[in-house]
Amino acid sequence: MLIGGALVTATIVGVAGVMLWGGGAAGSSEQPVKPVADTPSSVAQSFVNKLFTADATGAAALTDTPDVAAKAIAATRSGMGSSAYQARLLTVPAVAEGATTTEIPAAVTWTMPNSAALKYEVKIGLQLAGPTWKVRWTPAIVHPQLAEGGHLLYRNAVADGALLGRDGKPLVQGSLPEGLHTTITGAAGDLKGTDGWEVGLQQGTGFVPLDGKKPEMGEKLTVTIDPARQAAAQRAVDALPRGAAIVAVDPATTEILAVAQNKALVGTNPFVGRYAPGSTMKVVTAAAAMEAGLVQSGTAVPCPARATIGTRTVNNDGFGHETLPFHTAFAVSCNTTFGQLGLKLGPEALPAMAKRFGLGADWDMAGATTNTGRVPAATGDQQVENSFGQGNVEASPFGMALVAATVASGRTPTPTLLRGKVAVPGNVGAAPPRAALPALRQMMSEVVTGGTAKQLAGFRGLAGKTGTAEAGGGDAHGWFIGYQGNVAFAVFVEKAGSSKSALDAAAAFLRG
């Protein structure tokens, strides 16, 4: 006989088919007693055959409390999912003539979806009820440790491992620009570990495990993007009709807080797109000139409205001064001042200083491909143009955000997008010039309080540098780089004509 797929052998004993006679009242004739219709073993076997199958209600009907049994059977059948149940009756005891109760042991095997087996024994109690034997229902028939209202449960033990946002919650698609989300998930790979499993007794909200295998935990990686700042950056660039991008980093850690671009900026992204940086390059040129001893913050320098430097004719934006302090020349962005300083610098001075601020340096950063820009060695006319961000100097918004962060922190940047996976430096310069940093911070503050970015003067503690870079065709890119508190950032607007759009976007970002 097969029970749940297993061969069952049992000695059939009982009183089925035997006519029993009982004594009547004195003087009456004897009356026949209705024969017992089955045996305890046949009922027990039929019960385990139907238990946890599609005919589970048939199993419940063989018990003394069908409604209670049906509910309990259904709970375990659901809890064990696709696990296969088998039961084999063990020694079948003889039932004495006239006995109304007996107990038959059975060996139970659950084969679970992962092929693991849970084995145990139960005792099936039976009681004669009129002409039939009934299974005495108790949760112990399901498992000897099971209490009333409980059921068996098989479940996967899910391996932990996820890509998390800065807030510690799982990162969901849509919280980052689509391209960035794709590159980050591609770089992170499959973080999930190996799931385990467990089977046990579910009793109310409590779970008592009987067997299982613990999951092998996967890796958790935190993306450094700050959801609030990312949203603010995205709103700021989406408000502009021209292609625009914002990159923000934490100066203290150089963790990337936001990377946003609008739909008008096509064919590139803020990590790799390279453009002439315009006057934002003057941060590097000022540091190189002070390091070389050509000027200090208060040195009086010429700032003519127009000057021939080398063979190049250099103009300011409609202003000129006979002389003014170097920090003021920086604040009002005097091209002629910086062109003259550039001509006096050595051919390697600008590229070497740029790398000390992270510009033109290389990093192997987990989560995204990056290119900070390039500042080639130059002399003569090329060096003149490079000194105020024209010529053959190029920078990405990412690279200029690192420049701002380096001024703010005074440390060589180590950009990070996936926490715990610090970028590996390739072609990075020495530490930034310690002596020049206080002057640079003061000058960048003056840009906001009384210089070319004075429309942002209401943002307390903000320091920065504007930039307008000729892009050909009469158009010019607009830039603003800066820092405030624990945020350093770069704003780029493609062919905006001036830095005003970049300043507007910076204001929207900071307000957000």
Judgement on whether residues 373 and 402 belong to the same structural domain of the protein: yes
Helix (H, G, I), strand (E, B) or coil at 255: strand
CATH number at residue 60: 3.10.450.50
Query: 441 and 411: one domain?
Result: yes
60-99 in b/e burial notation, b at 16+ Cβ within 10 A? bbbbeebeebbebbebbbebbeebebbbbbeebeebeeee
Same domain? For 166 and 75 the reply is no
Per-residue pLDDT tens for 417-457? 998 888 888 888 889 999 999 999 999 999 999 999 999 99
Residues 65 and 134 in one domain: yes
Q: What local confidence, expressed as pLDDT, does residue 183 receive?
A: 83
User: Do 117 and 249 lie in a common domain?
Assistant: no
Do 326 and 454 belong together in one domain? yes
User: According to the model, what pLDDT value does residue 12 have?
Assistant: 30
Alpha-carbon separation of residue 155 from 196, 226, 470 (angstroms): 9, 35, 64
How many CA atoms lie less than 13 Å away from 488 in the CB half-sphere?
28
* In contact, 201 and 146? CB cutoff 8 Å: yes
**Does some domain include residue 27?**
no
If asked whether residues 193 and 313 sit together in one domain, one would say: no
Question: For the CA atoms of the chain, what is the radius of gyration?
Answer: 41
pLDDT at 35: 53
Q: Which domain does 141 fall in, by range?
A: 2-20+34-149
The pLDDT score that the predictor gives to residue 372 is 96
CA distances to 312, 332, 378 from 292, in Å: 23, 22, 16
Which phi and psi (to 5°) does residue 188 adopt? -70, -30
Q: Please indicate, yes or no, whether residues 422 and 275 belong to a single structural domain of this protein.
A: yes
Q: Do residue 381 and residue 453 come from a single domain?
A: yes
Residue that is last in its domain, among 106, 126, 149: 149
Does residue 38 belong to any structural domain of this protein? yes
Q: Show the tokens assigned to 501.
A: 């759009």
Domain end (from 207, 222, 237): 222
For 10-26, the pLDDT digits (tens) are 333 333 333 222 333 33
Q: Does a structural domain hold residue 157?
A: no
pLDDT of residue 36: 54
Say how far apart CA 40 and CA 44 lie, in whole Å: 6
- Of 408, 411, 378, 397, the C-alpha closest to 285 is 378
The pLDDT of residue 55 is: 84
Within a domain: 376: yes
Question: Rounded to whole angstroms, how far apart are CA atoms 509 and 512?
Answer: 5
Same domain, yes or no, for 241 and 270?
Answer: yes
Q: Does 28 map to a domain?
A: no
Assess if residue 144 is contained within a domain: yes
Q: Tell me: the pLDDT tens digits for 464-474?
A: 999 999 877 66
Look up the CATH number of the domain holding residue 447: 3.40.710.10
Same domain? 269 vs 142 = no
**Do 178 and 135 fall within a single domain?**
no
DSSP state of 4: T
pLDDT of residue 44: 96
- Residue 351, amino acid: P
**Residue 79 forms part of a structural domain:** yes
Length of the chain: 512
Q: Is 156 domain-assigned? A: no
Domain stop point among 125, 149, 173: 149
Per the structure, the count of domains in the chain is 3
Residues of the chain with pLDDT under 50: 1-34
